[in-house]
Amino acid sequence: MSSREHTKALLAYLRDAPDLASIVFDGAVDGQAPPRYVLVFSQSMDHEVDRMAGRQRPLVARHTIHCIGSVPDEAQWLADKVSTRLVGARIPVPGRSSSPVKHTGGDPMRLDSSVPPAVYFLADDYEWASGP
């Protein structure tokens, strides 16, 4: 089971929410960015094996999600929508059993002035266990 399959499942789950359907992107926006949007960045899944016969523990899927807006309120609104959608949810991954999603941390609001026009964003980390 690859981390890519988990990322695709997470993207589909977020895009299934009406408020997020057209503004969730996989790491980058192709073309002109909308005034507010969400970027999903996957992290490598763990590769721990704790017994000779192979994996015993479930995989842990981890993602960092950037919620971006032209003003701070937009970025915060998106972060709240994403958090409400994800925390406690079980992301459906074909052939896997998922634990509830946890919010594991985040960074304070930041301004990215390297892009015109400048944008505000919040970066939050989410994870869930995925077993056979």
pTM score, two decimals? 0.91
Tokens 């988990």, residue located: 6
Residue 84 lies in a domain: yes
Q: What digits encode the pLDDT tens for the residues 83-128?
A: 999 999 999 999 999 999 999 999 999 999 998 899 999 999 999 9
Residue 24 lies in a domain: yes
Higher per-residue confidence, 47 vs 128: 128
Could you tell me the two tokens for 91?
A: 């992301």
Higher per-residue confidence, 55 vs 30: 30
Task: Give the distance, in angstroms, between the CA of residue 122 and the centroid of all CA atoms in the same chain.
Answer: 12
Query: Which of the four pLDDT bands, split at 50, 70 and 90, describes residue 44?
Result: confident
Residue 16 lies in a domain: yes
- Please name the residues in contact with 48: beta carbons below 8 A apart, sequence gap of 6 or more: 55, 57
- Please name the residues in contact with 9: beta carbons below 8 A apart, sequence gap of 6 or more: 91, 92, 93, 94
Q: Assess whether pLDDT exceeds 90 at residue 29.
A: yes
pLDDT given at position 3? 85
Please state the domain count of the chain: 1
Q: What is residue 122's three-state secondary structure?
A: strand
